[in-house]
Chain A
Amino acid sequence: MAPRSRFSAQTLAVLAALAGEPSRWHHGYALAKRTKLKSGTLYPILIRLAERGLVEACWETEPPPGRPRRHQYRLSTDGLAAATAALAAADAVAGTRPAADEPDRRRRALRPVTESRVRLARATSGTPA
């Protein structure tokens, strides 16, 4: 039996979105759009990930004129390792279970995870996109 991930489906979605381009800084609204999470769900996840040292966060240093500074996020080294392991575990779970048996909510939440797996594999192996 495949090991169960210690992250929720929503957290996995955030990790996957961040892991898609691990070296790039991401913004909250873009993450929310990609993961289809509401701000009230996304930000607590980012807070917990930052508290565990898996996500780095900082303010934009030079925002364009007329726009407020934005907070930006990316995976730390530990975060990338944790995301890789968690996404692999999630893939294993998805592979051992028939898709029809999986609850819709979890399947929807894990869709960006699956999509990001390809990008993550490229990023970690250094292969160009």
Chain B
Amino acid sequence: MTRISRAAGSLAARLLPVELRVWAEALWAEAAQVPSASERAGWLAGGLWLIARECLMIRRVRVSILFVVAAVLLARTAWAGEPTGFDTGVVWGLVVTTVAVLALLPRVVRNRLGPVADSPLARVLRFATYAAILGLIVALAGVLRSSHMPSRVRPENPLPIALLLPWSVFLLLLAGYVAVILIVTAQRSSITARTLAIGTGAGISLGLVMYAIMPLGMNQYATAPWLRGTAIDPVVVLAWILLLGGPVAAAVLAGMRHAPAGGRLRLVDARIRQSIAAGLLSTLVGSLIVCVLGPVTLVLLPRAGLLVHLVYPGRQLTAATLANNVAVLAQGAVGYFLIWLVFPLIGLVLGANTGLVAWHRGRAIGPGNGPGGGGADDGDPAPVPSGDLGREPADEETSVAVGAFVAMRG
């Protein structure tokens, strides 16, 4: 019995980090000194308690437990109800693939780039992304279950490729979203906390404005009394500005605020990298917000009176009208799919273009005027970094502005 419990204890001790295993081994070795069997069992139980307690003090373990609980709840939600046909298959596929992606990708990124960076924003961004994606899957499962797909696609029929393809693309993109967030928030990632903040801030603005348009439909207020006769919807204009201008502004700002020590080429490369990351993040986070909040709102709409008042202000809707309206809004799923697919590409292209034009342009202006000040190209120490990362020479900001302008026009 003691031998079995000792073997179980040694196995459990492997859950601990290497530096703590010795303590569990010490406790187990000491068990041989405990005279009576009952006392020894108590001693070994204390060892298991030690392992559990020390494991729970490790943030990674706490996060893993939280994820497992969320995944179980998600599976419980998805598996609720009768297995009816195609929609059930899609929901199961969604849940299994998403949980697998969310569980495995951090391990892959951790092996290459280390654990999450020691910054509250990085941790919050990872947590929010995971929570958002799990919420999205719950909402999609709800939408699928209420879409009456089994009546159109019978279980005896083969699954139509035309319907499987978009789901496969969606899941592939989902993995891409998670991978990007994990990479930019990893400890050994070259993306700085400041770039994360800039990109995320721009993304949140874009996401909330897009959400106000779809599904909240706040742009319809253009025809409300206080904006009657407005020819151009201001909210839609704002969304376009944030979609196309946000990545450019974020890219410029992230590059400008980045001043690593090292040679000129390294400085230019680093700034281009920050610009690309900020541009990509600005639309990726925006897309994530609108694509999660949208379906979640649709699912909650028939249940939450507050949302009904928000989406249909001042109107009294019957349950049937509301259900019909939700079905109409749900037809905008194609719009969400396009946002999911296209937004990150827009951010990536604009961020890369802005970064390349702004910082290469800055370098081309010549010694003394480019980013980081004067000097030759290779290997020269950049004279600017002096401890104040945020301060740049005025002539550099001019060159950046020129570059950004060219990038926006391009």
Residues of A within 8 A of B (CB): 27-29, 32, 38-44, 46-47, 57, 59, 67-71
Task: Answer whether A40 and B30 are a contact pair too, CB < 8 Å, given A47-B20, A71-B22.
Answer: no
- Indicate whether B83 reaches chain A with its CB closer than 8 angstroms: no
- Smallest CB-CB separation from A50: which chain B residue? B23
Give 26 pairs: A residue, B residue, CB < 8 Å, sorted on A.
A28-B30, A29-B43, A32-B43, A39-B27, A39-B30, A39-B42, A39-B43, A39-B44, A39-B47, A40-B46, A40-B48, A40-B49, A40-B50, A42-B46, A43-B23, A43-B26, A43-B27, A44-B53, A46-B23, A47-B20, A47-B54, A59-B26, A67-B32, A70-B26, A71-B23, A71-B25
Chain B residues within 8 Å of A47, by CB: 20, 23, 54
Provide the main secondary structure of the chain B interface: helix
Tally of chain B residues near chain A (CB < 8 A): 22
In the bound complex, how far is the Cα of B29 from the Cα of A69, in angstroms?
7
Chain A residues within 8 Å of B27, by CB: 28, 39, 43
- Indicate whether B33 reaches chain A with its CB closer than 8 angstroms: yes
Sample of 15 further A-B pairs with CB below 8 A, known A38-B43, A46-B23: A29-B30, A29-B43, A39-B30, A39-B42, A40-B47, A43-B27, A43-B46, A43-B50, A44-B50, A47-B54, A68-B32, A70-B30, A70-B33, A71-B25, A71-B29
Chain A residues within 8 Å of B25, by CB: 71
Chain A residues within 8 Å of B103, by CB: none
Contact of A27 among B30, B45, B46 (CB under 8 A): B30
- Indicate whether B34 reaches chain A with its CB closer than 8 angstroms: yes
In the bound complex, how far is the Cα of B53 from the Cα of A48, in angstroms?
13
Contact of A70 among B20, B29, B34, B53 (CB under 8 A): B29
Nearest CB of chain B from residue A34's CB, rounded to whole Å:
13
Nearest CB of chain B from residue A65's CB, rounded to whole Å:
13
Nearest CB of chain A from residue B2's CB, rounded to whole Å:
12
Report which residue of B30, B49, B54 has the largest number of chain A beta carbons within 10 angstroms of its beta carbon: B30
Chain B residues within 8 Å of A39, by CB: 27, 30, 42-44, 46-47, 50
In the bound complex, how far is the Cα of B42 from the Cα of A38, in angstroms?
8
Nearest CB of chain B from residue A110's CB, rounded to whole Å:
22
- Smallest CB-CB separation from B35: which chain A residue? A29
In the bound complex, how far is the Cα of B31 from the Cα of A39, in angstroms?
10
Chain B residues within 8 Å of A41, by CB: 46
Residues of B within 8 A of A (CB): 20, 22-23, 25-27, 29-30, 32-34, 42-50, 53-54
Contact A40 B53 (CB under 8 A): yes
Chain A residues within 8 Å of B47, by CB: 39-40, 43
Contact A28 B26 (CB under 8 A): yes
Chain A residues within 8 Å of B49, by CB: 40
- Report, nearest first, the 5 A-B pairs whose CB atoms are least far apart: A39-B46, A71-B26, A40-B46, A40-B49, A28-B30
Nearest CB of chain B from residue A97's CB, rounded to whole Å:
31
In the bound complex, how far is the Cα of B32 from the Cα of A41, in angstroms?
19
Contact of B29 among A38, A40, A42, A68 (CB under 8 A): A68
Nearest CB of chain A from residue B32's CB, rounded to whole Å:
6
Chain B residues within 8 Å of A29, by CB: 30, 33-34, 43
Chain A residues within 8 Å of B53, by CB: 40, 44
- Smallest CB-CB separation from A66: which chain B residue? B32
Contact A40 B54 (CB under 8 A): no
Chain A residues within 8 Å of B33, by CB: 27, 29, 70
In the bound complex, how far is the Cα of B46 from the Cα of A33, in angstroms?
14
Contact A71 B30 (CB under 8 A): yes
In the bound complex, how far is the Cα of B42 from the Cα of A42, in angstroms?
13
Nearest CB of chain B from residue A56's CB, rounded to whole Å:
13
In the bound complex, how far is the Cα of B34 from the Cα of A29, in angstroms?
7
Nearest CB of chain A from residue B8's CB, rounded to whole Å:
15
- Smallest CB-CB separation from A39: which chain B residue? B46
In the bound complex, how far is the Cα of B48 from the Cα of A38, in angstroms?
12
In the bound complex, how far is the Cα of B50 from the Cα of A41, in angstroms?
8
- Smallest CB-CB separation from B57: which chain A residue? A44
Chain B residues within 8 Å of A44, by CB: 50, 53-54
Chain A residues within 8 Å of B43, by CB: 29, 32, 38-39
Chain B residues within 8 Å of A71, by CB: 22-23, 25-26, 29-30
- Smallest CB-CB separation from A42: which chain B residue? B46
In the bound complex, how far is the Cα of B54 from the Cα of A28, in angstroms?
18
Chain B residues within 8 Å of A27, by CB: 30, 33
Nearest CB of chain A from residue B235's CB, rounded to whole Å:
55
Nearest CB of chain A from residue B10's CB, rounded to whole Å:
12
Nearest CB of chain A from residue B136's CB, rounded to whole Å:
40
